[in-house]
Amino acid sequence: MAYDPNNIFARILRGEIPNRTVYDDDFALAFHDINPQAPIHVLVIPKGAYTDLADFGARATPDELAGFFRAVAAVAAQLGIVEPGFRALCNTGSDAHQEVPHFHVHLFAGAPLGPMLAR
């Protein structure tokens, strides 16, 4: 899938749409999800134009890969959720119901999160 430069997270990165930022560095931006599914629900997105995890893993540079996942860890530490724990989730493609075609990691925390998948 070609990257859509007008997707909502690209527009957030360009400052065209407001967000509740929790973390910002050269490689990643983290902000609160607009429709939280847990007491803490934060999205971490790379600064580069990648559609999903598969695209990011295939095309990102080593610096982007390291910088992004260091940022995910930094966000979790900053939010104070490493203990008692959190869930990180990346929806990828239509079967996973990915809505926004810019790679993002959901961080869910703040309560016991239940089973990994709805049954």
What does residue 43 show for φ and ψ, rounded to 5 degrees? -105, 135
Report if residue 7 touches ligand AMP, rule: CB under 6 A.
no
Report if residue 98 touches ligand AMP, rule: CB under 6 A.
yes
What is the residue type of 42?
V
For the question of residue 97 being annotated catalytic, the response is: no
DSSP class of 75 = H
Report if residue 35 touches ligand AMP, rule: CB under 6 A.
yes
Q: Is the Cα torsion angle 20, 73, 98, 12 positive or negative in sign? A: positive
Report if residue 94 touches ligand AMP, rule: CB under 6 A.
no
CB-CB contact of 30 with 71 (8 Å): yes
Q: Which of 54, 72, 79, 100 binds ligand AMP (CB under 6 A)?
A: 100
Which residues are catalytic, by number? 104
Q: Which residues bind ligand AMP (CB under 6 A)?
A: 8, 17, 19, 33-35, 43, 91, 97-100
